[in-house]
Structure 1
Amino acid sequence: MFALVVRFDLQDAAKADGFDQLVAETVDGITRHEAGTLVYSTHVVEGEPLARVFYEVYRDRAAFDDHERQPHTKHFLSERDRYVSSARVEFLTPVAAKGLPTG
């Protein structure tokens, strides 16, 4: 299993709407084309309407690498800076989980 969390802070409310549309399009591509992506969950942070957190779980590092090569992911990566004021990526090592492979 290979997992990460990404936090995006968005520029303003109008940019947040555009970002959310971009994310919806990207998640559609992930859903249709990425069997190795086990979880790709996006969230609005409670009390912070301009913050988004992504939780991503991949079968393994190869599945993540495949995700990064997909046209929908490349499109997201090329467009996101139009909306984002800052981003932080944290790669995770699983310790214990329910519903996810840990071995």
Structure 2
Amino acid sequence: MSDGFALVVRFTLRDESAAAKFDELCARTLPGIKAKEPGTLAYVTHTPEGEPLVRVFYELYADRAAFDAHETQPHTKNFLAERDQYLSGVEVSFLDMNAGKVAEGQ
């Protein structure tokens, strides 16, 4: 496997209502990612302990082209168009791989 292409995105949500709606948006988006993006190796959302208004996404793609393909998908475009109404902030960090373990066959 290549080193892949990875990023971490930290979303800060406006309030509890916005958090619930953001989570619903994520739930509607995920089936498209699972079904239509073979180059998306991991796409995982997290809520950090003690931070109920924060969501952290970890995304790992086979390569930059797979990330670019993800960005062009209708489900991703819909997510990007809808998400801002729920947010008070967003931080994106692109990652360079130093070392690690990936699942077999990846």
Q: Residue 98 of structure 2 aligns to a residue in which SS?
A: coil
Measured in 2, the distance between the counterparts of 1:52 and 1:45 equals 7
Which residue, 91, 94, 99 being the options, matches 2:97? Answer: 94
Q: Residue 57 of structure 1 aligns to a residue in which SS?
A: strand
TM-score, scaled relative to structure 1: 0.95
Q: Residue 99 of structure 1 aligns to a residue in which SS?
A: coil
Structure 1 residues 77-102: Cα deviation after superposition (integer angstroms, max 9, x where no partner): 0000010100000000000111169x
Tell me the residue number matched to 2:59: 56
- Aligned residues, how many? 101
Name the % identity.
Answer: 59
Which residue, 30, 33, 39 being the options, matches 2:42? Answer: 39
Tell me the residue number matched to 1:15: 18
Structure 1 residues 7-44: Cα deviation after superposition (integer angstroms, max 9, x where no partner): 00000000000000001111111001000000000001
Tell me the residue number matched to 2:81: 78
Structure 1 residue identity aligned to 2:92: V
Structure 1 residue identity aligned to 2:19: A
What CA RMSD, in Å, does the superposition of the two structures yield over aligned residues? 1.1
TM-score, scaled relative to structure 2: 0.93
Gap runs ≥5 in structure 1? none
Task: Choose between structure 1 and 2: higher strand proportion.
Answer: 1
